[in-house]
Structure 1
Amino acid sequence: GYTLQVSVPEDPAIVSMIGATPKPKVKAAVPAKAEAPAPAPAPAPVVEEPKPVEYPLGVFEIMKNADGANEFDLFVVHTNDVHGRVYSSENSVGYSKLATMLKVGRGITDNILLLDAGDVTHGTNVVNMFEGETVGVLLDMLGYDAVAPGNHDFNYGVDRLLEAAELAEKYTDIKVLSANVLDENGYMLFQPYQVYNFNDFTVGVVGLTTPDTATKTHPKNVEGVYFANEEIFEIGQQAIDIAKQYVDYIIVLGHIGMDPDGASGLTTDKIVNNIKGIDLFVDGHSHTLLKQGMKIGDTMVVSTGGYMENLGLVQIHVKNDEVTAVYPMVIPAADVWNAKDSDLAKQYGIAEVPNDAEVDEYLGYMTAKLDSKLNTVIATVPEKLDGERANVRTKPTNLSRLITRAMTAASGADFTITNGGGIRASIDAGEVTIGEVINVLPFTNIITVVEATGADVYAALEHGYSMLPETNGAFSQTDLQVVYNRYGKPGSRILRVLLNGKPIDKNATYKVATNDFMAAGGDGYTMFGKVLSEGSLLSDVFIEFLSENYPAK
């Protein structure tokens, strides 16, 4: 592990590349013994292969290409915020088609660096049910060079993430990089950086993780973890200046994002505006789509949006160890899925991007394992739980009450408001399987806690009840007690709202559990305030609730 004590703020983890770079050691030539009896000319000196260059904290340089070229193109291929979308489709490049593209590219050049900017190991059932293992294997199969952990990569707990990083270090070439994630004693938990060598053009990749992780995953997942923030600015410039003495090009692989409303206030543009010398910032977290990158000062910032709807590519032209041009772009999933109709694909003479057989075989295997897991019984309920469409979109049901109770309990919020349209099936009395719960809550929404005043709550409920008696996917399912007139004028139907039998205060501020879709204004819920925290999938929350309160018999 990376056990160097880091004092904060005088010497934070980001200063990972400070220090002299030892030169490779070469043993002296050893002449061979002459053949007896007649003397013979001494053979050429035998020299050991040079050892990899070692940098501070025991980081060894990785040689990616040594063909001797002085002028070449380096291709940085990047993804971010994939959120477990492992399958290829018209809306997602997916790992199968990406594997095909990489094999073609590597057949042409070794000058490829494959990076992911985080939030990759959580988000869909085939990934979550195996605590991210599915993605870890895929990243190895595709030959990813480095990943920066995002907040949702902590969703299985920091110990699980550290275990995954250790397995990656031991059995793969993947480096899990983050320079600002420390334990409570100031020790770095992950490798902070890695250096790659392309024909003596050296590239330093530094990982960063958003300090908002402290509130963007369940608090229990990051107990004892400290995310450095202000320390980055206190010594970051000095770190970059010194690093520039030893590497030719600096990439920050950051799950940071452009959203200024996060609890930490840390954004990518804030970093690159205040710290000069970062050449390329591969960004994630805010799902920002930068189709041709964004230049901030001398730094190129790139991001692909999310869910692998696009693949990122940065072409860097290098001549005599100097960068002469940088060309960022994104490749939309639709162009990969339907290459024959893509103008972009036609430019390169590509008519089809087939799936990779090896990746498909692995995904088929994991899908079969998932199917088996979905049949696992997790609870026994005494009565049918009503999730019928006409009911959950017009009134509370016994199922919706349990779901809102589960969300409030899991999040620590004051109460819950969620959309009835997110409840998609009923559960029969008796044994309940994981698959049945996922049928009820099939969307990959995560539990999200937002801030709202009492007046905002009234506005949210007025909105949710506005179409009664007609069915409405935005109907407000809640564990509040709501007194209303369903035939009143829309906007004036909510008469009274009670929390634990007492009226809520319109001037007070509350913590409201909902889902990430609604927190972002989905279904017209634009009245909610800032996001306070994020957690697990709603289906996972409800599975845990049922197993604890209605244990399987």
Structure 2
Amino acid sequence: MKQLISRRSFLKAAGVTTAVAAVSLGAPAASACYPGSFKDITILYTNDVHTYIDKKSPELTYAAIAALKKSYQDAGKNVLLVDAGDHIQGTAYGSMDEGASIIQLMNAAGYDVATPGNHEFDYGMARAKEVMAEADFPYLSSNWVNLPLGNRVLPDVKYFTIGGRVIAFVGITTPETFTKSTPAYFMDKSQSRYIYDILGGDDGQKLYKAVQKSIDKAKVLADYVIGLGHLGVDPSSSPWTSKEVIEHTSGFDAFIDGHSHTKMECEWVKDLSGKAVALTQTGSYFANVGEMTIKADGSIATRLISSYEGSDSAVADIQNAWVASVDDMLGEKIAVADTNFYISDPETGKRRIRMAETNLGDFVADGIYSYFNEVEQLHCDIAIMNGGGIRADEKAGYWTFKTCKQVSPFGNVACLMSVTGKQIQDALEFAARFAGTEKENGGFLHVAGASYEIHADIPNTVQTDEKNVWIGSATGTPRVQNVKIYNKASGTYEPLDESKTYALAGMNYTLRNLGDGFAMFDGAELIKDYVSEDYLVMSTYAMTFGGVDAEGLPHLTTANSPLADYPGYLLDYENPYGAGRISIL
């Protein structure tokens, strides 16, 4: 008994939270931590929700998950609710107030702890920190550090005493955040040096060591240590995947993951000591909520729940009011699409936008190109758009401002820069470094006013640093060849001249903020910046189409595009795979 009291005092001094289940009338009170008195512990978990809150019962929403948690509590069960990142960005419901309403919903739903995903940084570093301060629950990260000292920005471990045990969560943030968010956000104002690091390392060792240090710390007090990571299992994320972290550390009992949008009820992965660790992930967009049970006998089981009929009325009221407000703000019809526009391959359903041309990739790039040439009346030779910035398939039918916000939700703004042909070649080569493989790349470039070939059989020799930021041209034979720039005067596509200067348009994310690692534009001359937000550029393009019907709505077809008047311009929106601007050989 003395040992028990001593341990409790130690836990309290260490800041360990005691989570007591809400007990319904007549249920037994929570028992003390005597041998044999352990109770089942339930951990509900979400990941990659990406602000998809406009769903109806029985589909999952924050209101449903709040009710699910409360139902466990009312039954006298011990329950925690956690999130593995990417919850404030993805649709207009996140971007219209930079995540404020999403955090309000998560607070009301009763989240206990979360880890930041890469998209928690999409509104800038200052806003990321504000979001984490607005949350009633703590954010954890063992590998996000301040420079040059290397001290952590966030706590790395959160403890809960629940069901007679101590559970510790260790937070982990993907090092891909640098390039999948905006590297400039992690630098000083002059963008001359990093003031934050998310430890990773070319071989993953910096990440593994940081995580192991936090595991060792957690195990001093905890009976169970659970990873709460935004890492994913995609090969493109290697050596920073959750599986690799488990395999190169020892001490995790389970790992709740995110980032790769993988539906994984449970996969047992052996750690460095040979112990099997339960790895799980729910998918994305509230397709499932995970339920992990640490049973009284110490075993761990997981399952995925795809629907729930219950709904917490208070959370639902917040949710419905915000959805209605955004829908009202962005609901005006602006065009009619006579064809489907794709980010995915209509035959396989796989996301294609990050590895090859699609008609929506062409459309978004054309919108930027047209905006500078037709609206701003500035000369623009070529426009580029990163595939990771194009987020949703859109079916034929009415388009609204909200439609465009769903496709382009990031709030980036368009800019125009004077660059050399060599910089264009470097950008295309860097963007194509994974083409021809199954590896997705958010930096894959869709183009307007240009065409190019990718020779996938030629090895990639682009030089990058450990954060996958470009640091030098290809050292071998270029994979990208036969780059051509459209000349309106002649109606032809002419070979790129690396010594010539071109007017290049795109989003500041790519051209100015090192987004996806595009650093080759450093020193380029800015012609015009901050002309319009991404979804408004797209909306403007849609509204300039011809074929106006009785409702006064333009029809989005190839023939109705203002660019159809450009002689010889490559244009084919009816083809899901685009107009043939990008050839992968």
Which TM-score bucket, shorter chain as reference?
Answer: 0.5 to 0.7
In structure 1, list runs of 5 or more residues that go unmatched.
1-20, 26-49, 337-352, 377-384, 428-434, 461-475, 484-493, 507-511, 516-530, 534-538, 548-553
Q: Is the 8 A contact 1:404 1:417 kept in 2?
A: no
Q: Is the 8 A contact 1:387 1:425 kept in 2?
A: yes
Does 1:360 pair with 2:331?
no
* Number of the residue aligned with 2:53: 86
Q: Given the superposition, is the C-alpha separation of residues 98 and 88 from structure 1 closer, same or farther in structure 2, using an over 3 Å criterion?
A: farther
* Number of the residue aligned with 1:54: 13
Q: Given the superposition, is the C-alpha separation of residues 312 and 115 from structure 1 closer, same or farther in structure 2, using an over 3 Å criterion?
A: same
Separation in structure 2 between the aligned mates of residue 133 and residue 106 of structure 1, nearest angstrom: 27
Identity %: 24
Q: Given the superposition, is the C-alpha separation of residues 438 and 62 from structure 1 closer, same or farther in structure 2, using an over 3 Å criterion?
A: same
TM-score, with normalisation over the residues of structure 1? Answer: 0.61
Separation in structure 1 between the aligned mates of residue 140 and residue 431 of structure 2, nearest angstrom: 44
Does 1:220 pair with 2:184?
yes
1:374 counterpart letter in structure 2 = L
Separation in structure 2 between the aligned mates of residue 407 and residue 532 of structure 1, nearest angstrom: 24
- Give CA deviations for 1:109-150 in whole Å, capped at 9, x if unaligned: 341111100001111112210111111111111111001000
Q: Which of 212, 230, 246 is matched with 2:221 structurally?
A: 246
Separation in structure 1 between the aligned mates of residue 209 and residue 362 of structure 2, nearest angstrom: 54
Does 1:292 pair with 2:269?
no
Over the aligned positions, Cα root-mean-square deviation in angstroms equals 4.8
Separation in structure 1 between the aligned mates of residue 138 and residue 93 of structure 2, nearest angstrom: 23
* Number of the residue aligned with 2:66: 99
Q: Is the 8 A contact 1:437 1:542 kept in 2?
A: yes
Separation in structure 1 between the aligned mates of residue 121 and residue 212 of structure 2, nearest angstrom: 28
Q: Given the superposition, is the C-alpha separation of residues 233 and 101 from structure 1 closer, same or farther in structure 2, using an over 3 Å criterion?
A: closer
The CA deviation at 1:97 is 1.8
Q: Give 1 or 2 for the bigger CA radius of gyration.
A: 1
* Number of the residue aligned with 2:95: 128
Q: Given the superposition, is the C-alpha separation of residues 453 and 163 from structure 1 closer, same or farther in structure 2, using an over 3 Å criterion?
A: closer
Does 1:156 pair with 2:123?
yes
Show the 5 A alignment for 1:156-235. 156-168=123-135, 172=136, 174-185=137-148, 186-223=150-187, 224-229=195-200, 230-234=205-209
* Number of the residue aligned with 1:503: 495
Separation in structure 2 between the aligned mates of residue 256 and residue 295 of structure 1, nearest angstrom: 15
The CA deviation at 1:218 is 2.2
Separation in structure 1 between the aligned mates of residue 495 and residue 114 of structure 2, nearest angstrom: 49
SS at structure 2 position matched to 1:64: coil
* Number of the residue aligned with 2:534: 541
1:259 counterpart letter in structure 2 = D
* Number of the residue aligned with 2:554: none
In structure 2, list runs of 5 or more residues that go unmatched.
22-29, 188-194, 342-357, 374-381, 413-423, 437-444, 453-480, 488-492, 499-503, 508-515, 519-531, 541-585
* Number of the residue aligned with 1:280: 254
1:309 counterpart letter in structure 2 = A
SS at structure 1 position matched to 2:266: coil
Separation in structure 1 between the aligned mates of residue 18 and residue 178 of structure 2, nearest angstrom: 32
The CA deviation at 1:451 is 7.5
The CA deviation at 1:71 is 2.7
Q: Given the superposition, is the C-alpha separation of residues 299 and 438 from structure 1 closer, same or farther in structure 2, using an over 3 Å criterion?
A: same
Q: Given the superposition, is the C-alpha separation of residues 331 and 480 from structure 1 closer, same or farther in structure 2, using an over 3 Å criterion?
A: same
1:281 counterpart letter in structure 2 = F
The CA deviation at 1:363 is 1.7
The CA deviation at 1:79 is 0.6
Q: Is the 8 A contact 2:166 2:224 kept in 1?
A: yes
Q: Given the superposition, is the C-alpha separation of residues 416 and 375 from structure 1 closer, same or farther in structure 2, using an over 3 Å criterion?
A: closer
The CA deviation at 1:240 is 2.8
1:177 counterpart letter in structure 2 = L
Q: Which of 327, 336, 342 is matched with 2:301 structurally?
A: 327
The CA deviation at 1:406 is 7.2
* Number of the residue aligned with 2:420: none
TM-score, with normalisation over the residues of structure 2? Answer: 0.58
Q: Given the superposition, is the C-alpha separation of residues 221 and 208 from structure 1 closer, same or farther in structure 2, using an over 3 Å criterion?
A: same
Q: Given the superposition, is the C-alpha separation of residues 544 and 132 from structure 1 closer, same or farther in structure 2, using an over 3 Å criterion?
A: farther
Q: Given the superposition, is the C-alpha separation of residues 546 and 254 from structure 1 closer, same or farther in structure 2, using an over 3 Å criterion?
A: same
The CA deviation at 1:210 is 0.2
Q: Is the 8 A contact 1:395 1:477 kept in 2?
A: no
The CA deviation at 1:101 is 1.6
Q: Which of 287, 292, 309 is matched with 2:287 structurally?
A: 309
* Number of the residue aligned with 2:78: 111
Separation in structure 2 between the aligned mates of residue 446 and residue 315 of structure 1, nearest angstrom: 36
